[in-house]
Amino acid sequence: MTVFFPDISSYENGLTIQPGTVAVIAKATEGTYYNDGTYEEFKAQAARVGALFSAYHFLKAGNGAAQAEYCFEKVGSTPVMLDVEVEGDSKPTVQDCLDFITRMRALGGRVWGAYFPRWFWEQVGGNLASLGVAIVASGYPGGYSDTDPDWNGYGGITPAIWQYTDSQPYGGQRVDFNAYRGTTAQLADLINGTSSSPATPEPPATNPTEDDHMPAFATGEIPNDTNAHIVAPPPANTGGNWGNVWFSLGCDFGDCTVRVAAYIPGRGWDIRDNVVVPAAGGRINPWGGPLPNGVQKISIVRHTTGPALAYLIEAAAR
């Protein structure tokens, strides 16, 4: 299942949130100097139609902590997404994001995600996985697909949400629209943090009719050293008896940081570095969903020794 929803600001002043809308992300603040005048109205409208609601803050370069204080005064405990992109000579960094997130959480606020598109990340770089929030990608190919390359990972993480258009007809206007590969309940968990699920939830199988019954395929422990260890999952969606394949990690007795790489014939290694596997909470899926098609082997290297670290491979039998 995939759900779709808008993000809006004063550019859409006068817009009516439509009945049946599953979620709304509305601009609240920018830098330390701007409050969006439509924020409260859009928040009230979202409540009236029963939509999930999140604020967003347009992050400027520098002074991330001060911007968090400014935003918190406006939104309080309302969940927040960061909007991270270039404007003039402002190019916020991953560190600016971390400064904002750390301060916002210290104040009692919630930052669940960051719009940090690939095109911007290619300009500034950085380890997006270190933010500990969901990443929102963007790219406007002219139509939506669950398998579009814009869903592919970058910066050490796979996007949880994709802004796939900036001109979706909605409420008599054309607005930015986002896609989330999951259920409305999973999206609510992502935005509101209503359970201990990881920040980037696993999307549903791409073919739910065939993939409803997903048995555990293999599990094992990663030795307590810094060597590379290879596990061999069944190749996903390459014929035979296997459909989608999932890979996840869990640990105990302390958080563990790892490098995970999947080898795909013809493409090489798809690397996820500095993946944090927390001792508290559930398992972590480095790809945020099924493995890329055709994966033959996965390499796991600990950056942190000490905690017990285990992997689980699940596969959809066909």
Per CATH, the architecture of 213-317 is what? Sandwich (2.60)
> How confident is the model at residue 219, as a pLDDT?
85
pLDDT tens-digit profile, the chain (318 residues)? 899 999 999 999 999 999 999 999 999 999 999 999 999 999 999 999 999 999 999 999 999 999 999 999 999 999 999 999 999 999 999 999 999 999 999 999 999 999 999 999 999 999 998 898 999 999 999 999 999 999 999 998 999 999 999 999 999 999 999 999 999 999 999 999 864 333 343 343 344 333 434 455 688 899 999 899 999 888 766 655 667 788 899 998 888 999 998 887 766 788 888 888 888 877 888 877 778 877 889 999 999 888 999 998 887 765
User: For residue 231, how many other CB atoms are within 10 A of its CB?
Assistant: 16
The closest alpha carbon to 114, from 82, 74, 150, 160, belongs to: 82
Element (DSSP H or E) covering residue 185: helix 184-192
In this structure, are residues 156 and 127 in contact, taking their beta carbons and an 8 Å threshold?
yes
How many alpha carbons fall within 13 Å on the CB side of residue 66? 7
> How confident is the model at residue 233, as a pLDDT?
86
In this structure, are residues 289 and 253 in contact, taking their beta carbons and an 8 Å threshold?
no
Residues of the chain with CATH 2.60.120: 213-317
Residues of the chain with CATH 3.20.20.80: 3-192
In this structure, are residues 69 and 55 in contact, taking their beta carbons and an 8 Å threshold?
no
The closest alpha carbon to 250, from 283, 298, 223, belongs to: 283
> How confident is the model at residue 200, as a pLDDT?
40
Q: Is 48 helix (H, G, I), strand (E, B) or coil?
A: helix
Cα pseudo-dihedral 129, 130, 132, 137, rounded to 10: -40
Task: Take residue 291 and report the two structure tokens written for it.
Answer: 């493995």
Q: Is 131 helix (H, G, I), strand (E, B) or coil?
A: helix
> How confident is the model at residue 253, as a pLDDT?
86
User: What is the CATH code for 3-192?
Assistant: 3.20.20.80
The CA distance from 150 to 256, in Å, is 29
Could you tell me the CA-to-CA distances from 294 to 63, 186, 223, 243 in Å, in that order? Answer: 44, 27, 26, 10
State whether the Cα torsion 92-276-161-79 is positive or negative: negative
